[in-house]
Amino acid sequence: MKTIKRPMETGFAPEEYVNILLKDRKCDKTDLLFYDIETTGLSPLQDMVYLIGTAAYNGVSWEYTGYFCEEEADEPLILEAFTKLSEKYSIYIQYNGSTFDKPFISKRCEIHRIPYTAPDNETDLFREFSNLKRLLSLPSMKQITLEKFLSISRSFPGGKDGIKLWKAFLADHDPIKEKMLIGHNYEDLSGLVNITVMAAYLQLYHGMIYVPEPAASKRVISDFVQITSGSEQINANSGQINQDTEQISVDTEYYTSVSEHITITPDRIALRFCPVIQFPVDFAYKSDQLYLKVCGENAFAVLPLKDGKMRLYYPDYRNYDYIPSEDTAITRSLSCFLDKSLRKRARPETCYTWFDPSDGFLKDAARQEKYLKQVLPIILRL
């Protein structure tokens, strides 16, 4: 068995982003253990682990530690080394490891009669980031896809190439092959640590945003014109964004800047807000009920208006009925007095009422913040 240690550059504090995932719990960087395994196949009954890589904070900096099998007989040794190391940490982070790495290690330890209890407090970034595929228009949720989104590059081959390479290494113990095998696992761990910044986008789903108080800058009109010039028209009759139109003409006189962070037109309203932690990459998202644009520290939510009113969505849709004739939802404690033909069970997309954004709302950052924290998570899941 060979143990490899290498420094790992991050350029940010991974624990800040992990804390977004933990929600009510908080962690310190010394609590975290990132890990990833390399195996000879998919079956823990027939295949083995030949490399376990970890990333952890050593008290001074982030460090990669790899346990590498130089012979097939080394597998129990690297498993024992990993289980001993893992006892020092309270939070374990992997990517799609809930269905692969975790059970694979457990079964191989069982086969070799190595005492090991798989921890319950694991964070699987694959599962945590599942909502981001649609939000960010990602082609897949593979780890390497997220790395490319963040402009992280790789140098070493992996996957099935890694299995063939390790079997070839067993025959000649070529140091170049060993370097390639360990290099791939190092990049897996480096990528795993660095994609934790993707948790910043989950702030939209967790209500971790704020509406800033008015500042000195007078850029709201120009910012709004810029983001809407490439967005979609909104049908004032239906209150929905028309996704068939790619461009709209923009007349700056048509827009009314109500405050530093809100702009309104007859058929739409744009609310400016900020995430608690800045998003790593700017993006735009569009749906029938929302056009979202992120520009650096600022984000703009463009929402449709219908007859000057905007939708207020409610999370507890099971407690509401939708009234089609009124295009609104009411609580089931009230709808029970209506004929059944006049009401339907509300769904997330129909559980809303309408309200008129009065001057009190338009000039009150706290009320806008409360509105966005309630509505954005619902719309983004529709």
Closest CA to 196 of 377, 18, 8, 2: 18
Ranking 57-61, 145-149, 243-247, 319-323 by mean pLDDT, the lowest is 243-247
Residue 139 scores a pLDDT above 60? yes
Stated as kind and residue range, the H or E segment containing 85 is helix 75-86
What sign does the dihedral 336-337-342-346 (CA atoms) show?
negative
Amino acid at 12: F
Average pLDDT of the residues in 355-367: 86
Q: Tell me the whole-structure pTM to 2 decimals.
A: 0.87
Ranking 12-16, 64-68, 224-228 by mean pLDDT, the lowest is 224-228
In the chain, CATH 3.30.420.10 sits at 2-205
- Rounded to whole angstroms, the Cα distance separating 72 from 74 reads 5
pLDDT category of residue 262 using cuts at 50, 70 and 90:
low
Amino acid at 200: A
Contact call for residues 345 and 321 (beta carbons, < 8 A): yes
Contact call for residues 273 and 244 (beta carbons, < 8 A): no
Contact call for residues 219 and 34 (beta carbons, < 8 A): no
- Residue located via tokens 């969505």: 313
Average pLDDT of the residues in 153-169: 87
Residue 248 scores a pLDDT above 80? no
- Rounded to whole angstroms, the Cα distance separating 223 from 228 reads 9
The rounded mean pLDDT for the chain is 87
Closest CA to 50 of 28, 82, 78: 78
Q: What is the pLDDT of residue 214?
A: 64
Ranking 25-34, 160-169, 208-217 by mean pLDDT, the lowest is 208-217
* Sheet with 320-323, edge to edge strand ranges: 328-331, 320-323, 344-345
Count other Cβ atoms within 10 Å, centred on residue 9. 9
Residues in the chain: 382
| 2-205 topology per CATH | Nucleotidyltransferase; domain 5 (3.30.420)
pLDDT category of residue 115 using cuts at 50, 70 and 90:
very high
